[in-house]
Structure 1
Amino acid sequence: MEDFIASLDVNQYLPAALAWATNILLALLILIVGVFIAGKAYKAMVSIANRYPQLDDTLFKFFGSVVRYTILAFVGIAVLNRFGVQTASIIALLGAAGLAVGLALQGTLSNLAAGVMLLIFRPYKVGDFVDAAGKFGKVTEVDMFTTILQTFDNQHIIIPNSQIWGEQIINHSHHPIRGVDMTFGVAYGENTDAARAVIDKVLANHPHVLKDPAPFVEVETLNDSSVDFIVRPFCHGEHYFDVRYTVPELIKKALDEANIEIPFPHRKVIVVNESA
């Protein structure tokens, strides 16, 4: 009799135990396969950027992470579903939580959206000199939320991407050859051809000024007390600041040696002697 009762107990709990064992095995299988697929999806997204150098790997790593965690979220829901957990309420709760977090992080999300646009359209890259958000410097890092600049006085500037996207961006490094605009004035009594010859000689002897395209030197304006030349030598981008800050002094010295006057503003004062 006792053996009969024991066999009834075993028969009663055996189906439930088998069902739980089956669910555990299936859940483990779903988990293993899901993690494997998520990892493969991440690597596939990253490999797209590796195959095409013009694509930014930071952006595709972000997309890969989004795909991976999305797959893992569905895997988690499928695993819970194997154990009879009602996932509809969990999904609704996660949706509400996501909405609340999104509202709380509007500024952060705007930076994220701007970062995605910057990484897709790439108006600048690491190593470029840019004017952005009222700051000028060398781009040292571009991520999903910020752009980091290094200034000439070695400041480390972190700019939120939302402040950059939608505003004017000047990329000084986009073209390999740059023109350097400068203005020099000579007195009205001086010979403009002689002044132009002096300027041309200085530019021709400068080691970083290119012969092709040729420097542009022409009279631009007749000011109140000077004849102004616009001078535009061309150079490679990495020599821009060397040309910008050495040529003015060289031209000043050359004009002095040629006895060509560089005027400064004059004011004529007329004194009227009323007692005369």
Structure 2
Amino acid sequence: MEDYLQNLDVNQYFPMLVSGATNVLVAGLILIIGLFVANKVDRLICGIGAKYQKLDDTLFRFLGSLGKYVVLAFVAIAVLNRFGVQTASIVALLGAAGLAVGLALQGTLSNLAAGVMLLIFRPYKVGDFINAASQFGQVQQIDLFTTILQTFDNQQIIVPNSQIWGSQITNHSHHSVRGVDMRFGVAYKENTDQVRKVIDAVLAAHPHILKDPAPFVEVETLNNSSVDFLVRPFCQGEHYFNVLYSVPELVKKALDENGIEIPFPHRKLIIEKQD
């Protein structure tokens, strides 16, 4: 009788034990393979970013982590499904939670999307001088959410990427050679050829102004009280501000030395004596 009961218990629970053990083994196998594939995807995507110098490592590290967790999410669903858990409701719950989080963090997500676009299209890189979102400075760091600028007076400006991507971006460091626009006015009585010769001599003597391309010096506008010259010398990008702020003083001194008048606004007062 006891042997019968023992055999009965074994026969009753043996298929359940076999099924449970099989599910555990299969789930473990799925988990091991899933972890391997997830890490492989992460390393593969990060490796692409490291292989090509023009690609940004920050973006590919983010994409690698994103790919890894997407794979792990599918692995978790497969493991739960193996144990008979209805995953459809879990997927729907995760979708609803993702939508709620997305609506709550839509500003942050817009910065993230803009950061991804900036890292893909690379309108500027670290070290460039840019003018964007009404801010000007040298790019110190590009993150997925913000861009950090350093101004000439050593201020740190942190600009959300969505503001930069949604506005005009001027990259002053994109081209190695820059033209520096300046304007100088002289009196109408002055000889324009002589004025051009004086300005050309100043530009030729400047150590940072290039001979090729040659500087552009021409009359631009005939104003009410002055003849205005457009002066555009060319220089290497790193010397742009040196040329911009040194040439006007040198031109002023040269015009004074050659007796060339620089007009300024003045008012003539005529007093008539009445008898």
- Measured against the shorter chain, the TM-score band is over 0.9
- 5 Å-filtered alignment, 1:203-218, equals 203-218=203-218
1:83 aligned partner, one-letter code: F
Instruction: Show structure 2 runs of 5+ residues with no match.
Output: none
Map 1:117-156 to 2 at 5 A: 117-156=117-156
Structure 2 residue aligned with 1:28: 28
> CA offsets, 1:44-75, max 9 Å, x none?
22222233333323222222222111110000
Q: Work out the CA distance in 1 between the residues paired with 2:89 and 2:28.
A: 23
Deviation of the 1:12 alpha carbon: 3.1
Between stretches 156-165 and 250-259, larger displacement belongs to 250-259
2:235 partner SS: strand
Q: Indicate the larger mover: 52-61 or 83-92.
A: 52-61
Structure 1: gaps (5+ residues): none
CA displacement at 1:8 relative to structure 2: 3.2
Q: Which moved more, 1:2-11 or 1:58-67?
A: 2-11
TM-score (norm 2): 0.94
Return the TM-score normalized by structure 1. 0.93
The Cα of 1:207 is off from its aligned counterpart by 1.0
Q: Shift in Å at residue 20 of structure 1?
A: 2.1
3-state SS of paired residue (1:263): coil
Q: Which residue of 2 aligns with 1:5?
A: 5
CA deviation after TM superposition for structure 1 residue 27, in Å? 1.4
Query: Which letter maps to 2:247?
Result: V
Q: Deviations along 1:10-58, whole A, 9 cap, x unmatched?
A: 3433332332222222111111111111111122222222333333232
**Structure 2 Cα separation of the partners of residues 21 and 155 of structure 1:** 64
1:225 match: secondary structure: coil
* 1:57-108 residue CA offsets vs partner (Å, 9 max, x unmatched): 3222222222111110000011111211111111111011111111111111
Question: Is the contact between residue 225 and residue 266 of structure 1 (CA under 8 Å) also seen in structure 2?
Answer: no
Query: In the aligned structure 2, how far is the partner of 1:74 from the partner of 1:202?
Result: 70
Residue in 1 that maps onto 2:55: 55
Match of 2:85 in 1: 85
Question: How many Å apart are 1:163 and its aligned residue?
Answer: 0.9
d(CA) in 2 for partners of 1:272, 1:105: 75
Who is 1:268 aligned against?
268
Instruction: Please state how far the C-alpha of 1:6 moved relative to its aligned partner.
Output: 3.1
How far apart, in 1, do the equivalents of 2:271 and 2:114 lie? 64
- Counterpart residue number, 1:199: 199
Q: Does 1:246 align with 2:246?
A: yes
Partner of 2:44: 44
Letter aligned with residue 6 of structure 1: Q
The separation in 2 between residues aligned to 1:14 and 1:204, in whole angstroms, is: 98
Percent of aligned pairs sharing the same letter: 72
Instruction: Supply the distance in 1 between the matched residues of 2:272 and 2:39 (Cα, whole angstroms).
Output: 92
Quick one: distance in 1 between partners of 2:79 and 2:87? 10
Q: Please state whether the residue corresponding to 2:203 is helix, strand or coil.
A: helix
Inter-partner Cα distance in structure 1 for 2:60 and 2:39: 14
For the pair 1:234 / 2:237, whether they are aligned, the reply is: no
Give the match's secondary structure for 2:73. Answer: helix
Distance 1:156 1:40 in 2: 38
The equivalent residue for 1:106 is 106
In structure 2, what is the Cα distance between the partners aligned to 1:27 and 1:268? 97
- The question of whether the paired residues in 2 share the 8 Å contact of 1:221 and 1:229 is answered with yes
Which stretch has the larger CA shift, 149-158 or 9-18? 9-18
CA–CA distance in 1 between the matches of 2:123 and 2:197? Answer: 40
- 3-state SS of paired residue (1:175): coil
